[in-house]
Amino acid sequence: MRLLQALRREPLDRPPIWFMRQAGRYLPEYMELREQHTFQEAVHSPGVAAEITLQPIRRFNLDAAIIFSDIMTPLEAMGLAVEFDPGPKLEPMTIQDIARLPDFDPNRVDFVAEAIDKVRVELPDGVALIGFAGAPITLLAYLLEGGASKEFLALRGALKKDPALATEALCKVGKAMSAYLQLQVDAGANTVQLFDSWAGILSVDDFVDFALPAARAALEYQTVPTIYFAPHGPQLLPHFDGVGATAYGVDWRLPLGEAWKLIGEEHPIQGNLDPAVLLTNPARIRPAVAEVLAEAGGRPGHIFNLGHGINRHSPVENVAAMVETVTGKDR
């Protein structure tokens, strides 16, 4: 599989390509299916989740599928209820409550494993399947706030008010995410990605003291290659290798070559086309893709991706132009 070859830093004639949120709202077939199912219904139905996972693979010449789910899904296996309206909503918790959550129960999210099993049956040869989870510090941010926030002051305050208790809570969540990732691997995922969506709001010291060891704990015992992605934090890049992942995703804020140098050129790197480029037209998309490829310079270990999830308003023909520029061919 081309993605796994890149994760081993093997020389390739072109980098593998997949992109974040590739199974989702920019596809008309996804929207048609969602007219029949709520988001939670789709996630909890293995057949529907598998179908959504496969939709972009049928359209584009991609090298990986990522299972359709959400980073909040494994919290159900810790006894928590999450709603989407449209973003995640849950009852705000204290740091003490989080530290004392029940242990992860894999039986409560067995629908994710079933979806992976169904995808594996239909996935073309050579296309990898990616499992994923939210990183502990990102999930802690949501648990303390009860949803999204611009500043996540509850998280940042908790880290400073009682560092020992915050570490205990992160250990609880990190252990759960490790088990959840392994559940996906056991079901057939070829690699897993840890999304640390809100690590970038932290100072470097708080990242190193809290987010980094928690992410490392979630990844260190995985039996497949791992990818760590923390956007919005170029100040954190020199510290990424402490996470211990196989590869690191980067957003568009720095040129790929510069970001790669900060992380360490011995690591595979994933990225980093600005998703806004896909809102333009193929004439602008092709040179922008070529610029990212030029930054990679043909070095082994590059995985082409967006610098964040695809915007739902991206025209399908623009996505096709991006994929064709990387692969040299259409589906």
CATH of the domain at 58: 3.20.20.210
pLDDT per residue as tens digits for the range 91-129: 889 999 999 999 999 999 999 999 999 999 999 999 999
Annotation marks residue 14 as catalytic: no
Q: What's the pLDDT at 192?
A: 98
Q: Whole domain around residue 248: which residue ranges? A: 2-327
Whether 21 is catalytic:
yes
Confidence label for 243 from pLDDT (cuts 50, 70 and 90) = very high
Across all residues in the chain, what is the average pLDDT? 95
Among 59, 70, 105, 156, the one annotated catalytic: 70
Q: What is the pLDDT of residues 165-188, one digit of tens each?
A: 999 999 999 999 999 999 999 999
Angle at 120 between CA 114 and CA 125, to 5 degrees: 175
Mean pLDDT of all residues in 285-293: 98
Catalytic hit among 21, 26, 180, 228: 21
* pLDDT of 331 over the 60 cut: no
Q: Give alpha helix (H) positions in the chain.
A: 2-7, 28-34, 39-44, 46-59, 95-99, 110-122, 136-145, 153-161, 163-187, 204-206, 212-219, 256-263, 282-296, 316-327
Classify burial at 95, counting beta carbons within 10 Å of its beta carbon; exposed 0-12, middle 13-18, buried 19 or more.
buried
- Assign 81 a pLDDT band (cuts: 50, 70, 90): confident
Catalytic residue selected from 9, 34, 108, 120: 34
Closest C-alpha among 273, 133, 141 to residue 207: 141
Neighbouring-strand partners of residue 67: none
| Reported confidence tier of residue 146, pLDDT bands at 50, 70, 90 | confident
pLDDT at 330: 59
pTM, two decimal places: 0.96
Which residue type sits at 47? Answer: G
Find the catalytic residue in 14, 25, 286, 299: 25
Q: Which residue in the list 30, 142, 180, 228 is annotated as catalytic?
A: 142
Report the domain count for the chain. 1
Q: Is 142 a catalytic residue?
A: yes
Of 222, 310, 250, 322, the residue nearest 282 (C-alpha) = 322
pLDDT digits (tens, 9 = 90+) for 298-321: 999 999 999 999 999 999 999 999
